[in-house]
Structure formats: C-alpha cells, structure tokens
Amino acid sequence: MKHFLFILVLILTTPALIFAQNFKIGDLVTNSDGSKGIVFYINADRTDGWMVALSDLQTNNWGLSDHITNINSHSLPNELLEEIDGFANTGLIRGYHFSNGYSASYGAGIVDYEKGWYIPTAGQLMKLCSVLDKVNDKLSLAGGSRLQLKPYFSSSEASYSAQVWAVDFGNSSHDWGGQFETHYKNESACFRAVRNIIFSKAPTIADINIPDSFCEGEPLHLQVPTTQFADSQGWQISSDENFTEPIAYNGQNIDFSFDGWFIRYFASNEFGTVYSNIIQINILPAPFIGEIQGETHYYYTDFGEFDYFIEPVEGAYLYDWSIDNPDWTLSSSSQSPSCTLGIRSNGVGTLTLKVHSECGVSERHLVIHHDLLPDLIIFPNPTRADFTIRLWGMKGDCVIQIFDVTGRLIDTLKADAVVNGTDVPYSLKYKAGAMYLVRIANNNYTITRKVVKWEP
C-alpha cells in the first residue's frame, strides 16, 4: 500500500532580483526571466528599489467595484505616500477576483505576478511621477513606450470602496510631481507594472513548524517560511539529521517510506545559502482492522449467543459494533475489540465494526447468514461475454462446470468458497451466442443455473 504526505506550498514573499549596488535611477535592468525595466527608485541606504516595466498593460479595467477583503483603504492623499507595498495589494486584488469568479481582463489579473511584477500603490506611482522625465527618456532609448500624461490606476483603494486611487501624470500641481485622484473602479485609466529590486544581501529564512505527528493520507499543510533575498529556495529531505545526502523535494508527494526522515527549507543566492530548522517526519498509520473472527459455521442449528472479535487496533480509542438485523441482539463495549451476538431467529444480518483513532475511522463488515440455503447467482445475465459466478452459502472446495446447450462439458473450474460469498469471474468471449449451463458442486450441494450469451 502506498501512503503519501501532501505538503501545500504557500508563497509569502515578494519575488525580487538581487543585483550589485551600482545601479542608479534611469538604468535599464534585464531580469533573469528576460523581462526588462527602468530603475525609478532606490532607497536611502541602497538596500532595495523598484523598476518600472517598458510598456503599459493591455487593459484599462481595474476590476470589480467591491471592497477588496483585507486591503487598506485611504481617504487622505498624504496617507498614500506611506503605502508602498503594491505586491501585497495586487495579491489581495487577484485573490478576491479569483474567489468571486471574475474572468474579465483586468490590471491585477494580467500582470505577470508570479515573476514579481505587480500594480504599484499610489505612493509608488507618485515616486515614479517625480522622476517622470528621466524615466521617459530612458524608456524611449530602451525601445519601450513612454509613460502617458494621463491618470494611472494604483492598487490603493479609496475610503469609498467603489473607488480607487490613481495618479495623473499630466498634472504636476504638487511638489511631489503628479496629482492624486480618486476614480471609480469601473472607469478607464492606464496601468504600468513595477517590480522590486534587492541589492547585495545574503538570504534570510524563518523557521518552519509542523505538528509533532500526522496521519497517513492526510494533507500536511506546510507553510513556506518567510525568506528574503533568495534566488532559489525549496524543501529538502534526508534520512539523517545532518543532511549528509539531502534529496530535493519539489512539492509533490512524499512516500510513506520517508517516515522518520527529516525535512528542512533552504534559501540561497550568490552570497550564500541558509537553512531553516530541521523537523522530523512522523507519519501515523490509519487504523487497520483485521478480519472479524468468531463462529466459523454460518448454518446454526440452534439459536444462542455467539462471540466475534478482531485483533486489537493500535491507537484505537473507540470500538463501535452494530448489527442491522432488528431481531438479533448485540452486547459490546466501546473499549473492547469483541462483541457477543444474540441470534434469536432465522435471517441475515451484517455485523459492522467502526474503529476510531486520531487518524480517522475504519470499518469492517461481516455478513452473517442463519439457516440460509446455498445459492448460485450469475450476473450480468444475459451477457455479451464476461460474467461473474457468485457462490452463496458454500464453504471449501467447489467444482464449477460449464456446459453448452447440448450438455457438452466445455470447461471446469475450481474455487475455494467462503460461506458469506465468493465471486468467480468467467468469460464466454470465444463462444457462440447461445444458452449455457453453469453447475456448482461440493460435498453437500449441487446447483445448476442458466446463462445466456447474446451478440448484438
């Protein structure tokens, strides 16, 4: 049996590129994915900055007019200068539209978010507007399109949820360059994506945490730790705590054979590699119920009390026995792997056991027949070729014979039957369409049934 550990990867960090510290505003940056941008902002200590894409996005649609869940709303322009996390805003906008089934082309939806591009906040747009002339000249030299002297949508929501903040690049009436404006979300404006740049830093990584143990087949939701300045990152597993021979883990299934192994996360760039804390994988098996044992002869000559039991199940905290025949009685304890069945009349009943553990509930069933004559069932009947011979109420060695309509024996099979039902598959694939006879015999009984093969 295969057992799997599922790990759900949730990306929490802003994809960014690490560059040397010799960039300046107006420089053309070529990213590792081939995309390009013009640097328009570098912070005072030169640890990070932003680049702007070479062309506008091919949409003027902001999206739904609803309030975006968890996004900050602003009523005063001065507040906007402090909001600079457009990547987070864009993620919230995309998530809200996706959860509401919005499929039209809109700014946050078509931006190449997975590669780190996003819709800037109004504060970021204003910083771009403050160096508009220099950036536009560089955009022209790089073969891009100049920023238009028009309003550009931001990812900053206004206090009125149907509106969003924009920056008019054609209005420089303020010291900071452009003009903050509120626009209704269903109006049209331009979009230009930006992307983060990180300068010359070794990667950092937070710790990971998972439960002490978990159940086989149960998804294990591992949250990717917060990392910064990483060119590459991912999971590793190893059979030893020193990770002598680590194996890369790519987000697919971890086989049950890795139970007891160790897992960690790494982040690296040209300045080095760092690792998270190490956690041991501990997989608990789902409860396995062995065969229900007890009275082996199902044709009771007398009514009475009959005991049934299973081998105790490791980790079980509840044994739930039941019988579906209302004329029979059942005596059991929730802490016991055995029960006593009181049979007071002829009939059939299904004895069911549900075993509860912290890793779920497993079931086992046993059909019990009291004073039931044996039977032979054939299905499907008629058949095109393949059918099943079901033996009821027989036990031990049985001989199955197949005859054609003239009584000629065409095949003989043997089966080791169990009383509560044995299925034997058979095929008339290479036989002519006609009626055939199926005969079953053991030491006590002989039963014959007809089966018809039809050809369309």
Give domain limits for the chain.
Answer: 4-10+202-284, 21-199, 293-370, 375-452
Q: Write down the pLDDT at residue 255.
A: 61
- What pLDDT was estimated at residue 423? 92
Assign domain 4-10+202-284 one CATH number from 3.90.1690, 2.60.40, 2.40.50, 3.30.70.
2.60.40
Tokens describing residue 66? 């609803």
- Angle (CA) 287 305 329, round 5°: 70
Amino acid occupying residue 179: Q
Asked whether the domain spanning 375-452 has the same topology as the one spanning 4-10+202-284, the reply is yes
Q: What is the pLDDT of residue 6?
A: 36
Please state, as a whole number, how many other Cβ atoms lie within 10 Å of the Cβ of residue 8: 11
Cβ–Cβ < 8 Å for 303, 345: yes
φ, ψ for residue 138, nearest 5 deg: -70, -35
The values of phi and psi at residue 66, to 5°, are: -70, 165
| Architecture category of domain 375-452 in CATH | Sandwich (2.60)
pTM: 0.44
> How confident is the model at residue 432, as a pLDDT?
92
Q: pLDDT at position 270, please?
A: 75
Please, how many CA atoms are within 13 Å of residue 377, restricted to the half-sphere of its CB? 13
Q: Tell me the pLDDT of the chain (456 aa) as tens digits.
A: 333 343 333 333 455 554 545 688 999 999 888 999 999 999 887 778 999 999 999 999 999 999 998 898 888 878 888 888 999 999 999 999 999 999 889 999 999 999 999 999 999 999 999 999 999 999 999 999 999 999 999 999 999 989 999 999 987 654 456 789 999 999 999 999 999 987 766 788 888 877 767 676 665 567 788 887 788 898 899 999 999 999 888 755 556 778 888 999 999 887 788 899 998 888 777 777 888 887 544 444 457 888 899 989 887 899 999 999 999 999 999 999 999 999 888 788 899 999 998 877 888 988 887 765 678 899 999 999 999 999 877 878 999 999 999 999 999 999 998 866 789 999 999 899 999 999 999 877 789 999 999 987
Helix 122-130 and helix 132-141, axial crossing angle in degrees, nearest 10: 80
- What type of residue is 411? D
CA atoms within 13 A on the CB side of 83: 26
Nearest to 94 by CA among 120, 57, 119, 59: 119
Q: Supply the CATH classification number for the domain 293-370.
A: 2.60.40.10
